[in-house]
Structure 1
Amino acid sequence: MFLNVHSSYSLKYGTMNIASIIAQARALNIHQLVLTDINNSTGAIEFIRECIKQSIFKEADDVQEGNIPYNLKPVAGIEFRRDNQLLYFGIASNKEGMRELNEFLSYHNIHNVPLPYSAPEFKNVFVVYPFTKDFNRKLASNEFVGIRNTQLNHLYKHSLLQQKHKLVVWHPVTVSDKITYRLHEYLRAIDLNTLLTKVPDDFKCSKNEFLIPENELKICFKDYSFILENTQKLIDNCDLSVYFEPVIQSKNRFAYTKEGAEFDKVLLRRIAYKGLAYRYGKDNTIALARLEKELRIIEFKKYCAYFLITFDIVRYAMGRCKFYHVGRGSGANSIVAYCLRITDVDPIDLDLYFERFLHEKRTSPPDFDIDFSWDERETIQKYIFKKYPYWHVAFLGTMSTFKDRAIIREIGKVLGLAKDEIDSFSDQTKEWQNLQNPTYKKIKNVHNRMREMPNQRSIHAGGILISEEPITYYTALDLPPKGFPTVQWDMYEAELIGYEKFDILSQRGIGHIREAVQLIAKNKGDIVDIHDFKTFKKDPKLNGILKEGQPIGCFYIESPAMRQLLKKLKCENYLTLVAASSIIRPGVASSGMMKAFIERYHEPDKVVYLCEEMKEQLKETYGVMVYQEDVIKVCHYFAGLDLADSDVLRKAMSGKYRSKLAFDELVNKFFVSARAQGHSHELVTEVWRQISSFAGYSFSKAHSASFAVESYQSLYLKTYYPKEFMVAVLNNYGGFYSRWVYVHELQKTGAKVHLPCVNNSDVVVNIKGDEAYLGFIGIQGLESKFIEIIPAEREINGNYLDLEQFVKRTQITLEQAILLIRLGALRFTGKDKKMLLWDIYTYLGHKQKKLNHAELFNIEHKSYSLPHLENSQIEDAYNELELLGYPLNFNMFDFLKTSYRGNVMAADLNNHVGETVKMVGNYVCEKTVHTIKNTKMWFGTFLDANGDFFDTTHFPNTTPMYPFKGKGCYLILGKVVEDFSFPSIEVLKFAKLDIHLNPVAFD
């Protein structure tokens, strides 16, 4: 009887989640519900699945207890609104009806066309219009008019009585009680960006839009039994039970080839065997056996198309586009993926388990993570969307929720509070004080109800779905700013429906590598085989840089924490780097496992293993479980579980298993099987304790290995071609640090780095020999059109000869020309900045004059003699600081009023362990962490006057008194401490040093 139910997926309108709606319906003994969220079908399949699932479970319980079985029939549709006004809602009679509704809404979303005031001619959809007094038209066979019980008195002598069979019960459901109605009002105010008191009644639901017992609803219509009959008949003609699948079936494209799935098997084998010869040669029996094992599982699980589609994407990228990619994640556990060149991680070399990616008992779909350069990913995405049919390919969506501080701000705004008051309520340090404030208590009450409610739909970072049947059977599509159709639910719902996503991701590290290789070929004439990883990992120079912990600019290993770890480990090989990439993760570090691993790494002979099986499986990591694969190994070799069960247990412990009963059965199976192997109860209990305490934050070894491969590639380029590599890092917007750090690193390579110049600079940084020119794109305030025009015009018509010609050829404005002059970009003229500033006003005046590029006669401006104007180095430095964000030719230390540079330099810290020292450091970055006692402490990174890094620790008892104050140089008093030969400063006192002020400010 309830044809128009809203969940919280009716964003900023509905107040109840799917589970709450079903629970209330069951409590009220309601047997039929139609979910019709506003302009979306996000919750439709979830609603159908959960209703049927709960009915099945409850029926089983009832049979056991001798009660009458309970059934809750789910039906779904979409409510269509335009400009906050209800137009009509559609109810799907079957699966085709859901497709019609979804495609109708998708068309209007994708093409940005307003919804029509009348519904189209649906074939499998019942359309219900809201009752109005003047409703007066002939209704189609599938069209109805919904009438509320409060509107029944308007039926007297109404023309609709001539179409009595078209009237149905309309009791919308939006809230659950008076409290949630108030929440609904807050949501509407937030949505309309207005005060709570100014939300029009027409834009809110009615106060009685909550579920009531079916009998109570029938009583309201007792004098209009034909309306009840019409409503029941409509619901009876709807059946969406096809959407419920006890065992999830894959919805992805079944076959890559036109010939079908059987030909896919043949093709995958052919490509895999060809790749096997490329990777391992022709006589590697171990690799051959592994390949056959994987192919058997892939064929059994019907994932041939999934592998071939991924292979096609990679082949297109490597072949036609010449793009570089990194295949990472658990997909790197597969030798088939390695042979298809989806990944460059050798699973045999690293003892990686295919079962971590795919096995016979896996119910959730795996996926490949393929990284491309940040500026090339869109090309790959366009290829995928063009290759596969319309309605069969879409981006995965995400659902962002209301977050703590954001909710407080939103509630404060609709209450009309002042910004300062809202800010004070968001300040966690004033929590106790705020609790005494009645307004804050009101906000907190609303906040608690709104927290984690859906706020807005967005787009997944890179997940793409390619479906066998039209994806619109399961969702409508949005069109976010990226311009690709996007489903209306997230990856968790996709998994439950049966979709495996193709993760097409991006990162700047790949851009560094790609551009560096191109620059090397252009600047040095050398052709670098960046995929020659087997050579890289054995190179002593590369491993030497790792050991010293100074890989600035290199992907994943340049952060302060990673540099410290590399130095503590004295990391000088690939396997140690793979381990480091895993133990750096917060969970492992905070648990104490990082420290345990470092200790055991340096003293392997003192490691005590629990038993021989644990020693055999964990000797590579000295008895410490570092990877997810370690959990699988221990479960398999120690406890005797098969590899599939071992991975299921690993996944369950990471919180991704939904059935507690099934999980408990697996745990019991672990103990029984381990005891059957001859292990004592005490030993099994201890091994289980270690597994369960680690598995929740473990990291895939294949993922770490993929990162490590890319790190070695970056290291190779930085070691042998440092100038070109650092230019590539700058041109791909750096990495962990601010831009000036990479400019500093470029200067350290011996390159002569020049300020931007209109006759030498390009859009980005360029390098010729040892001379590098900063690009126009780094100049703050310079408009994008001039960033493009200046080098493009120079490329076509040659260098600029003087200021006047530059102005005429580029049509630059006065303000933009001043930026370039202040930065010295017009120094080719031979005139100083102040004279050029005088000249530019002569040409352009205070208002921009239209200069005719195609003048008939070149009339030169009159020149005037000027008095000598002073220029100072510090004035130039301040200009660079303002316009670039850093001074290029003026050390930050030279800004200081003091000449003191500390009594110890970073390179000498190991000789002063235990001593209290003074240092002067140029601020690089800081990191805030929370202690066990929930207090804050900080870690800082600085450069000394020699350009060497050093690190500081700021404990909670010192930092509030001596806080960070942003960029600049600091005087640091602290104790030198050492951890596994890595020195750092425990700060006692800390102050930002005074600098010489900009002389221009006092002119």
Structure 2
Amino acid sequence: MNNFTHLHVHTQYSILDGLSAIPALVKKAKDNGMTAIAITDHGNMFGVKEFHNTARKNGIKPIVGCETYVAARSRKLMELKEDRSGFHLILLAKNTQGYKNLTKLISYSWIEGFYYRPRIDWELLEKYHEGLIASSACLAGEIPRAIKKNDIQLAETTIERFKSLFGDDFYLEIQRHETNLQGADKTVFEQQKIVNQKILELGKKHNVKVIASNDVHFVNSEDAEAHDRLICLTTNSDFNATDRLRYTKQEWMKSKEEMGVIFADVPEVLENTMEIAAKIEDFELDHAPIMPDFPLPEGFSNEDDYLKHLTYIGAKKHYGDVDDKIKERIDFELDTIKKMGFPGYFLIVWDFLKAAREMGVAVGPGRGSAAGSVVAYCLRITDIDPLKYNLLFERFLNPDRVSMPDIDIDFDDDGREKVLKWVEKKYGHNRVANIITFGTMAAKSSIRDVARIQNLPLNIADKLAKLVPEKAGTSLQDAFKEVPELKEAKNSSNEEISSVLKYAEVLEGSVRHTGVHACGIIIGRDDLIEHIPVATSKDSDLLVTQFDGKHVESVGMLKMDFLGLKTLSIIKDAVENIKIAKGIDIDIETIPLDDKATYELYSKGETTGLFQFESDGMKKHLKDLKPTKFEDLIAMNALYRPGPIEYIPEFIKRKHGKSKIEYDLAEMEEYLADTYGITVYQEQVMLLSQKLAGFTRGEADTLRKAMGKKNRELLDKLKVKFVEGCLKNNHPTEKVEKIWKDWEAFAEYAFNKSHSTCYSLVSYQTGYLKAHYPAEFMSAVLSRNLNDLKKVTFFMDECKRMGVTVLGANVNESFSRFNVNNEGNIRFGLNAIKGVGENAVLNIIEERKKNGAYKSIFDFIERVNLTAVNKRCLEALAASGALDCFKEISRYQYFIEEAQGATFIETLIKYGNKFTEDKSSTQISLFGDVMGVDIVKPEIPKGTEWLNLEKLNKEKDLIGIYLSAHPLDDFKLEISHLTNYILSDLKNNLIPEGKDVVVAGIVTEVKDSTGKNGKPYASITIDDYSDSYKIMLFSNDYVSFKNFFSVGYSLLIKGKVQKKPYGNTEELEFKIIKVSLLSEVRETMFKTIKIKLPINSINAELINKIDALTETNKGKTALNFLIYEPLTNIYIEMFSRTKRVYLSNEIIDFLEKKSDIEFKIL
């Protein structure tokens, strides 16, 4: 049997070039009896840790390497075309020293040498070559290129150069990719024959051994076609293009036997690969935590003492007198932290959080299990008292098992970057990095990608992709099983379609791009390249690790999560709004947690905008629960999740005494009282296991983990210990068995109380602000959602419900973001107006702050910088209503064309420039008088006022929403009583096939066209409060309904959701059946109004008012009265036989304002 080791292997981390998944490579190597395998991805070490772990797990020796790019001149030169890539060179790590040097080389190739590709050079090779084996690589290597150019002298010089550097650890490399496959590049082998022959000669001449490789890019021969398509994605090429990049289709991971056949004439080149494999030591990559050193102040010799010092200072601030119970807990935690070697970790976090607060950055009260630490609380790493809420340190750090602490920190969105820059400055740029992420091809995107390069029509590709279920993580393999249409398409005789799905399935999961983890940061004791390969990224100014989050900690790196939390930004903005609008300083961290108004808000379900409590389902449960204490919020936050949500009704019943609170054992009340006898939190299981069975703190945490992960083997062992411990404490066997059974049923759903407490506090803070400072809070909410106009509209509706008015932008009141004016109304920010640039906004606001409100349009024009506040900006300000504060002029007048076609805005700009010019040239006379030319203000032109719809449309164009009103506002009665869906339901395909649909909307755009058959058709856009929707009118529909679809018409549209009768017959469409003008339907479709009123509300005044309204609003709608006795619910129905009414807004407003009257329209 031939012995051979693959030493030139690309995995999928050679992004969009390699197709090989690491587990598949290793499995094939093992199945073929190989004892070692290398990884040599292009210019990176992204996959090294996964590869190392996988190979070792399968008993294969991992050979860590890289196919590097060596700069033609210097890594620092980035000018000429030859600087863009460089020569290929294979480097393999022999030992730990070699691995460290490879790490440095690859890191520097990104940090210092990146120009199109990450490049090293001879300077770096000379410095970091120890412990490395090198080979001359493929045809793109420096020596093969010299041979191809017939520059044999250069080839020999280069060989000697490498040989002098690496000695016997330098090898020449040959490859043989003979191919007759269709679509393969057959020219490669012709080049290889020439290069190989010369390399074999030069190897003998210079006494350098030669190795064989296969330049592996995919695992099996049948993957060649999929790999060919991957290359098309890389090069953005059409699959059928004749001039595109092609491979030989021979680059699969060939077996030892296959390589033996190919290189039968030179078997030594195979044996030499085994020689290299033998040279490789099986070194470790994993490492114990490498904690950064914390700089200690004078007077402290070690981190333990300084941490203890700071902790007790904090304890006195929080607790006053530190009693024995508190001291015992603090000392236990400090002792555990010391034994695990993590005092520096706590000091680092304390330090940057202290700096964050000093910079004015909002810091969250904590998240996750770190809130269980009293030490963290005393250091203000968290702001939740663990003793008060029975939060456990061992949930954070188990004293029986050393694991890295995990303290995740929330900052306000703006502040997160400030803290990162502070950390980078303190510890050094080379010691701080973001964590890399790898984006892979998902099921839908792989279909679309392959379809694009194979020229499958877009509509068919879209249909295929949409057949994949939306459920996260659904693979194509799953989809073929679950969706019959997709399975049928895969097996279709239509080669165009079936091949797309075939190759999409192979490409699925391939790494498509790299990114930066949203919050993961590592901080090193020294330069990170001493321990881990790093890269650079266009997404971050920091360095980026080449290992992802799964692997950075295992190699000893300290990982922390710096998260930006929008809610903290909202709280910070709201506090600032309160200070500006009311002059009140709110310390959000000291607000009372028993505020009645706040709990009333939760009890009414008025939690829109409140962190983690704003879903419809949560609102419903809150109305039933009527929370009265902070612990209720903690519990609801924990319970409102899949699984435990079913316990909420019982939880509510127990709170209100409708269900008896029972404890299996009296001793359990201490820890279950706050949750009315229901086990809600993991911490409760942990505490009770200690109390009932004598578990240690570490054992209690082990139990928590075993239950969460359903580790049956461990649970069985722990059950024995639990039962024995309970029996020792004289607890009845049947009760103990029941408790264990209940725990097993619920514990997998039990939530982390530490996290729930932290985030419930953040929610309570938002609730407090909304309850007491509604306008200031909602202003902050709107500001932080400005990029999502649907959310802006949603929150504006909430403002309306609350009685808070939201006004358009105003140059005399608005700031850059939403703010609250002196009347307590919310003003749109100037930044919300399209066409108004940042410089213009700053100039308008600064000038107003400096010299007071603008008195008129002329005063405004005279004072602002017309370079920043230019014509486009002024047009946007005028049309959006931001200049409405100047009562002497209306919006339309700015756009009236005057002499020579100039608009009045242009006249104003001309006047402003002349005013500025004149002001600059003002002179002082001999008598000290100011001399200047009097400029006559232009006369405001007269014209025709815009129609209301035109005015509203301009608002929408500039702000994205109808602001001062909505064109459908006059038809809210019709919409609420006659429609059953909204346009966003249609747009998002939320309406099932066969459903009758009634929607309302205003026509905002009409595009008439003529089809290939010469017949007219139209594309219509309609808007409602939720969204816009496009309707296509063809054939008979065009003839029947076209006249209704004119811009500005408000319509009621009836139709049905059905399958398309042509084209893609699997797609659903909205088929129109009837269209009516909304302005006519009150008269034609409201047949009867039924008014229900209690008998005790009827009096002469009410009768006279109703009589008067019916007299002044005569129409066609029948009038019925239902009069009832509230106590007995006995009622009498009365029909008006002579009177018919028109349901005017006057009648509806009257009925809606009467809280004791109900009405229904039929």
TM-score (norm: length of structure 1): 0.81
Tell me, in whole angstroms, the C-alpha distance in 2 between the residues paired with 1:12 and 1:892: 51
Alignment of 1:154-193 (within 5 A): 154-155=197-198, 158-165=201-208, 167-193=210-236
Q: 1:342 to 1:936 in 2, by over 3 A?
A: farther
For residue 449 of structure 1, report the CA deviation from its aligned partner.
Answer: 3.1
Alignment of 1:126-275 (within 5 A): 126-130=133-137, 131=139, 132=144, 133=147, 134=150, 135-137=155-157, 138-140=160-162, 141-142=165-166, 143-149=170-176, 151=192, 154-155=197-198, 158-165=201-208, 167-198=210-241, 204=247, 206-213=249-256, 217=259, 221=263, 224=266, 227=269, 231-239=273-281, 241-243=283-285, 245=286, 249-253=288-292, 255=294, 257=296, 263-275=302-314
1:374 alignment partner in structure 2: 413
Identical-residue share of aligned pairs (%):
26
2:764 alignment partner in structure 1: 712
Tell me, in whole angstroms, the C-alpha distance in 2 between the residues paired with 1:993 and 1:706: 53
1:32 alignment partner in structure 2: 36
1:554 alignment partner in structure 2: 610
Aligned to 1:37, the other structure's residue is in SS state coil
Structure 1 residue corresponding to 2:67, chosen from 76, 79, 87: 79
Aligned to 2:917, the other structure's residue is in SS state coil
For residue 566 of structure 1, report the CA deviation from its aligned partner.
Answer: 1.6
For residue 499 of structure 1, report the CA deviation from its aligned partner.
Answer: 3.6
Q: 1:379 to 1:54 in 2, by over 3 A?
A: same
1:669 alignment partner in structure 2: 717
Tell me, in whole angstroms, the C-alpha distance in 2 between the residues paired with 1:101 and 1:850: 68
1:758 alignment partner in structure 2: 811
Per mean C-alpha deviation after superposition, the further-off stretch among 498-507 and 111-120 is 111-120
Aligned to 1:501, the other structure's residue is in SS state strand
Per mean C-alpha deviation after superposition, the further-off stretch among 775-784 and 790-799 is 790-799
2:363–2:409 Cα contact (<8 Å) kept: no
Tell me, in whole angstroms, the C-alpha distance in 1 between the residues paired with 2:199 and 2:547: 44
For residue 310 of structure 1, report the CA deviation from its aligned partner.
Answer: 0.7
For residue 256 of structure 1, report the CA deviation from its aligned partner.
Answer: 5.5
Q: 1:393 to 1:261 in 2, by over 3 A?
A: farther
1:818 alignment partner in structure 2: 875
CA deviations over 1:221-249 (Å, ceiling 9, x no partner): 56556645654554444435132x5xx62
Aligned to 1:413, the other structure's residue is in SS state helix
For residue 342 of structure 1, report the CA deviation from its aligned partner.
Answer: 0.9
The answer as to 2:395 corresponding to 1:356 is yes
1:832 alignment partner in structure 2: 890
The answer as to 2:656 corresponding to 1:602 is yes
Tell me, in whole angstroms, the C-alpha distance in 2 between the residues paired with 1:237 and 1:377: 47
Tell me, in whole angstroms, the C-alpha distance in 2 between the residues paired with 1:457 and 1:370: 24
Per mean C-alpha deviation after superposition, the further-off stretch among 229-238 and 339-348 is 229-238
Per mean C-alpha deviation after superposition, the further-off stretch among 283-292 and 191-200 is 191-200
Q: Which amino acid aligns with 2:791?
A: S
2:47 alignment partner in structure 1: 43
Alignment of 1:326-341 (within 5 A): 326-341=365-380
1:775 alignment partner in structure 2: 829
Structure 1 residue corresponding to 2:129, chosen from 109, 123, 130: 123
Structure 1 residue corresponding to 2:954, chosen from 863, 874, 879: 879
Quick one: higher RCO (CA 8 Å, sep 6+), 1 or 2?
Answer: 1
1:251–1:498 Cα contact (<8 Å) kept: yes
1:62 alignment partner in structure 2: none
Q: Which amino acid aligns with 2:98?
A: G
1:740 alignment partner in structure 2: 793
Q: 1:11 to 1:157 in 2, by over 3 A?
A: closer
CA deviations over 1:412-468 (Å, ceiling 9, x no partner): 112111111111112229954442444443333333333333332211121111123
2:17 alignment partner in structure 1: 13
Tell me, in whole angstroms, the C-alpha distance in 1 between the residues paired with 2:43 and 2:197: 29
Q: 1:411 to 1:149 in 2, by over 3 A?
A: closer
For residue 183 of structure 1, report the CA deviation from its aligned partner.
Answer: 2.5
Aligned to 1:3, the other structure's residue is in SS state coil
1:630 alignment partner in structure 2: 684
Q: Which amino acid aligns with 1:25?
A: A
The answer as to 2:629 corresponding to 1:580 is no
2:316 alignment partner in structure 1: 277
2:965 alignment partner in structure 1: 890
For residue 779 of structure 1, report the CA deviation from its aligned partner.
Answer: 1.9
2:663–2:677 Cα contact (<8 Å) kept: yes
Structure 2 residue corresponding to 1:699, chosen from 744, 751, 754: 751
For residue 929 of structure 1, report the CA deviation from its aligned partner.
Answer: 13
For residue 373 of structure 1, report the CA deviation from its aligned partner.
Answer: 0.8
2:365–2:384 Cα contact (<8 Å) kept: no
1:90 alignment partner in structure 2: 91
Larger radius of gyration: 2
Aligned to 1:817, the other structure's residue is in SS state helix
2:1103 alignment partner in structure 1: none
1:730 alignment partner in structure 2: 782
Structure 1 residue corresponding to 2:357, chosen from 301, 308, 318: 318
Q: 1:209 to 1:708 in 2, by over 3 A?
A: same
CA deviations over 1:396-422 (Å, ceiling 9, x no partner): 222222222112111211211111111
For residue 366 of structure 1, report the CA deviation from its aligned partner.
Answer: 3.1
For residue 620 of structure 1, report the CA deviation from its aligned partner.
Answer: 3.0
2:894–2:904 Cα contact (<8 Å) kept: no
For residue 513 of structure 1, report the CA deviation from its aligned partner.
Answer: 1.6
Aligned to 2:533, the other structure's residue is in SS state coil
Alignment of 1:415-564 (within 5 A): 415-428=454-467, 431-434=483-486, 435-436=488-489, 437=492, 438=494, 439-472=496-529, 473-533=531-591, 535=592, 537-564=593-620
1:569 alignment partner in structure 2: 625
Instruction: Give the aligned CA root-mean-square deviation in angstroms.
Output: 4.3
Aligned to 1:209, the other structure's residue is in SS state coil
TM-score (norm: length of structure 2): 0.70
Q: 1:411 to 1:603 in 2, by over 3 A?
A: farther
CA deviations over 1:31-88 (Å, ceiling 9, x no partner): 2222112222122123223333443xxxxxxxxxxxxxxxx32221222359788622
For residue 338 of structure 1, report the CA deviation from its aligned partner.
Answer: 0.7
For residue 354 of structure 1, report the CA deviation from its aligned partner.
Answer: 1.1
Q: Which amino acid aligns with 1:462?
A: C
2:43–2:119 Cα contact (<8 Å) kept: no
CA deviations over 1:172-206 (Å, ceiling 9, x no partner): 22222122222222222222222234487755465
1:261–1:305 Cα contact (<8 Å) kept: no
Tell me, in whole angstroms, the C-alpha distance in 2 between the residues paired with 1:449 and 1:587: 36
1:84–1:203 Cα contact (<8 Å) kept: no
For residue 11 of structure 1, report the CA deviation from its aligned partner.
Answer: 2.1
Tell me, in whole angstroms, the C-alpha distance in 2 between the residues paired with 1:5 and 1:542: 62
Q: Which runs of 5+ in 1 are unaligned?
A: 56-71, 658-662, 904-917, 943-962, 974-990, 998-1003
Tell me, in whole angstroms, the C-alpha distance in 1 between the residues paired with 2:911 and 2:104: 52
Tell me, in whole angstroms, the C-alpha distance in 2 between the residues paired with 1:777 and 1:310: 36
**Number of corresponding residues:** 910
The answer as to 2:419 corresponding to 1:397 is no
1:359–1:644 Cα contact (<8 Å) kept: yes
Aligned to 2:509, the other structure's residue is in SS state coil
